[in-house]
Amino acid sequence: MNVLKAIGILAMGLLLTLIVFPWMDALRDTVYHPVTPTPKQYVSTGDDTDMEVEGVNWSAQAFTVTSSYTLAVVKVKVWATGTGTLTVAVYDADGSGYPTGAALATGTLAASSLSGSSPGAFATATCTTPLAVTAGVYDVVLHYAGSGVVNWRAMGGDAGYCFSTDGGSTWGD
């Protein structure tokens, strides 16, 4: 009887090892080692100029989506002087690459949380509602309300950037 009991305990231990421990490893990896998503669109080098964003002076950067995904955060390289709120928004782009229609997704950043000098640092704006994007052209638009100014690092001469001097009503290069 003791032999059968010992075999039963060993079998139960083996079963737990095969079923529970892999599940616990997966849980541990998810909790302690979460997957960092790969950026979908980005510019990580070549920024050589600042675009001022303040009041009615807005700036935009077009980007092309080639496959569908859910956009939940937008990272922008910025620096700020003053206090206020920077809005980071995503818009559809028209045939010229300019923002059109209403914002599809928005997130905000406090100017006081941003780098205070050029060339700035990447800041992450979390969209209040994630946006399902499909193949096409979109614009990231920055506008700022507050004292001082926010500077967005850009690549000089890049045709993908545009600006508005009337709060987004009209756009130009």
Domain 49-164, CATH class in plain words: mainly beta
Taking the domains of the chain in order of start, what are their residue ranges?
Answer: 1-35, 49-164
Q: What's the Rg (C-alpha) of the chain?
A: 24
User: pLDDT tens, 48-58?
Assistant: 888 999 999 99
- Judge if pTM exceeds 0.85: no
* Amino acid symbol at 109: L
Residue 78, beta-bridge partner list: 121, 152
Please say if the pLDDT value at position 93 is more than 50.
yes
Q: Identify the CA nearest to 105 among candidates 78, 141, 79.
A: 141
In angstroms, rounded to a whole number, what is the distance separating the alpha carbons of residues 61 and 90? 10
